[in-house]
Amino acid sequence: MLSGLLLGTTGVSMAQLGSQSGGLQETPIENSQSAGLTELVETVRAAGVPETTLNRLLLAGIEDRELFDAMPEIFSLLIRAHRENLPLEPLTSKIEEALAKRIPATKTIAVLKQEIDDLIFARRIIRQRLHSEESVDPGSIIQLSEILRAGITKEELRLFMKNTSGAPLSMQIVGAEIMVYCRQIHFNPDIIQKIINAGIQYKSFTPGWRYLAKVIVAAKKRGLSGEQIGKATIDILEEKGSLKDLMTELGFTDRDVRREPIREK
Amino acid sequence: MKQNQNDNDIDRILIENIGKLPYKDPPEGMAETILRSLAPKKMKWWRRFYIWVKTPKTFSVSPFALAPALVVVMVFLTFTASFYFKENIPESFKQIGEYQRNVPVSLIFKHQKAASVAVIGTFNHWNPKGYEMEYNDALGAWMLKFKLPTGRHDYVFLVDSRTSLPDPLSEFTRDDGFGNLNSVLFVKNNYGQKI
């Protein structure tokens, strides 16, 4: 029966799952819950939650009573996201991450709620940006919501999108990514601002530019100053050049930006 | 019958009277004027082109003669397309293209006390199976070489199947929401580098 639920061919009762986890006592309430759980499993399966994620979650629930009790709420959150036409991939990924890291179920639920809030926020600002209530590309929603976990507040992101609304959405997202990751490496904020302004003004932030922060790290390791890197970057952006052009300008050869071999400390 | 007879009479009278008229030389240039008016008028170029385009044509070309021309056209189109799409490739195409490219990546993690270390991340659905690191005695560190699609990936090291730790060598992180950090790996294929 357990395999039936896992593979989606039949239902499994709470007591049956309970007995797998060490003989938990079945109660009338749990019986009614199990029927609901089966329905929820079927609903999330129909919503498009990957079978592997579902099975992994159900199997983990056998080992972890707290997780098992939290499953209806986890499934309800997935169903809510599906009904709100939000992309499910960030949520299923978070569930898998939580399982791998053995995160307590209560914490997982809180993070899933936060994730849904972030996705709704990202979709709202994209809709505002596009002046349309029509469906928004899920990829853009995911990209924008992911930026929120890299060191930028919602208010900052909202302002950024507002201030850069002259550029295409994809370039705004690249710009926001550059900003947060350049902040992480403590790159001069004034230079970051100038780079963002140039990329947006000249509409040169093609997707390749999202790796700029990594190139800056490599360039600084080569001894180039922030001013030198900033000037070269802005010049290339003004010429609508690519990140490859910048790397050539900074004097990189094929191997220079590879991950460095480990050094003895 | 009578009508025909009348017509013949009129014609005869006209011919006789014309014959009685005095002879007079034609005005100078009359012949040229008449001939010029008879010559076909030259059409405008676009009109001629329109007629030429509208007129069905028949070409006879042997495949052998056509082959070099096709090669030239293909080379020209390939060159033009590659030049244009270098930067202007549609986002969706670019994402598909990027995702299809797998780039070799090496991860190194120093942890002397660990009994086992695996890499988990967005690229393997946080599943350590198949991503177990091997301890390299020479380096004194755990190592794993594998291939990743280009893009940005979150990951951590899973120590002893229990403890997740971010990569101390990674410059970039993201809050995992659970109170810890994930390392961020940028994988880029263009220019032959991994960054």
| pLDDT tens digits for range B94-127 | 544 544 578 899 999 998 889 999 999 999 999 9
Can you count the helices (H) and strands (E) in chain B? 5, 8
B167: left (phi over 0), alpha (psi -120 to 50) or beta: beta
- Pick the residue from chain B with its C-alpha nearest to A103: B178
Q: Which residues contact B188 (CB under 8 A, 6 or more apart)?
A: A208, A211, A214, B103, B150, B194, B195
| pLDDT tens digits for range A31-71 | 555 668 889 999 999 999 999 999 999 999 998 999 999 99
Distance CA A148, CA A157 (A): 8
Residue among A149, A206, A243 minimizing CB distance to B174: A149
Q: Do B169 and A259 touch (CB under 8 A)?
A: yes
SS (H, E, C) B94-156: HHHHHHHCEEEEEEEECCCCCCCEEEEEHHHCCCCCCCECEEECCCCEEEEEEEEECEEEEEE
- Pick the residue from chain A with its C-alpha nearest to B169: A262
Whether residue B111 lies inside any domain: the answer is: yes
Is residue B27 over pLDDT 60? yes
Whether residue B181 lies inside any domain: the answer is: yes
Whether residue B168 lies inside any domain: the answer is: yes
Residue among B98, B156, B177 minimizing CB distance to A111: B177
Distance CA A63, CA A23 (A): 12
Residue A29's pLDDT is 47
Q: Which of B44, B62, B182, B185 is nearest to B126 (CA)?
A: B182
Q: Which of B115, B102, B167, B110 is nearest to B143 (CA)?
A: B110
Give SS3 for B172. Answer: strand
pTM value is 0.70
Phi, psi of B135 (to 5 degrees): -80, 130
- Pick the residue from chain B with its C-alpha nearest to A218: B195
B88-112 burial: b if 16+ Cβ within 10 Å, else e: eeeeeebeeebeeeebebebbbebe
Residue B109's pLDDT is 96
Mutate to test the interface with A, among B93, B96, B125, B182 (most CBs of A within 10 A): B125
Whether residue B20 lies inside any domain: the answer is: no
Mean pLDDT of B165-174: 95
**How many domains is chain B partitioned into structurally?**
1
Contacts of A108 in chain B (CB under 8 A): 178
- Pick the residue from chain B with its C-alpha nearest to A255: B193
Task: Write out the residue range of the structural domain in which residue B125 sits.
Answer: 101-193
Distance CA A120, CA B185 (A): 26
Whether residue B160 lies inside any domain: the answer is: yes
Q: What integer best gives the mean pLDDT of chain A?
A: 85
Q: Do B171 and A259 touch (CB under 8 A)?
A: no
Is residue A3 over pLDDT 70? no
B179: left (phi over 0), alpha (psi -120 to 50) or beta: left
B113-131 burial: b if 16+ Cβ within 10 Å, else e: ebeebbbbbbbbbbbbeeb
Measured between CA atoms, how close is A33 to chain B, in angstroms? 28
Q: Which residues contact B29 (CB under 8 A, 6 or more apart)?
A: none
| Rounded alpha-carbon distances, angstroms, from residue B35 to A113, B29, B44 | 95, 10, 21
Whether residue B5 lies inside any domain: the answer is: no
Q: Name the one residue in this structure whose structure tokens are 């930067």.
A: B87
Relative orientation angle of helices A189-201 and A226-238, to the nearest 10 degrees? 10
| Rounded alpha-carbon distances, angstroms, from residue B135 to A37, A189, B106, B139 | 43, 40, 13, 8
Q: Which of B119, B104, B133 is nearest to B182 (CA)?
A: B119
Q: What integer best gives the mean pLDDT of chain B?
A: 84
Q: Do A100 and B127 touch (CB under 8 A)?
A: yes
At B175, which CATH number?
A: 2.60.40.10
Complex ipTM value: 0.82
Contacts of B176 in chain A (CB under 8 A): 97, 101, 149
Q: Do A254 and B127 touch (CB under 8 A)?
A: no
Instruction: Please report, in angstroms and rounded to a whole number, the separation of the first and last CA atoms in chain B.
Output: 110
Q: Name the one residue in this structure whose structure tokens are 């011919």.
A: B15
Q: Do A213 and B191 touch (CB under 8 A)?
A: no
| pLDDT tens digits for range A67-104 | 999 999 999 999 999 999 999 999 999 999 999 999 99
Angle, vertex CA B162, rays to CA B187 and CA A92, nearest 5: 55
Q: Do B126 and A97 touch (CB under 8 A)?
A: yes
Instruction: Tell me the DSSP string of A48-65.
Output: T--HHHHHHHHHHHHH-H
Distance CA A101, CA B160 (A): 11
Residue among A102, A210, A259 minimizing CB distance to B194: A259
Residue predicted with more confidence, B173 or A19 = B173
Is residue B191 over pLDDT 70? no
Lowest mean pLDDT segment, chosen from A8-12, A180-184, A206-210, B142-146: A8-12
Whether residue B29 lies inside any domain: the answer is: no
| pLDDT tens digits for range A227-253 | 999 999 999 999 999 999 999 899 886
Whether residue B139 lies inside any domain: the answer is: yes
| pLDDT tens digits for range B34-55 | 887 777 777 888 988 998 888 8
Contacts of A222 in chain B (CB under 8 A): none
Q: Do B193 and A257 touch (CB under 8 A)?
A: yes
Measured between CA atoms, how close is B126 to chain A, in angstroms? 5
Residue A113's pLDDT is 97
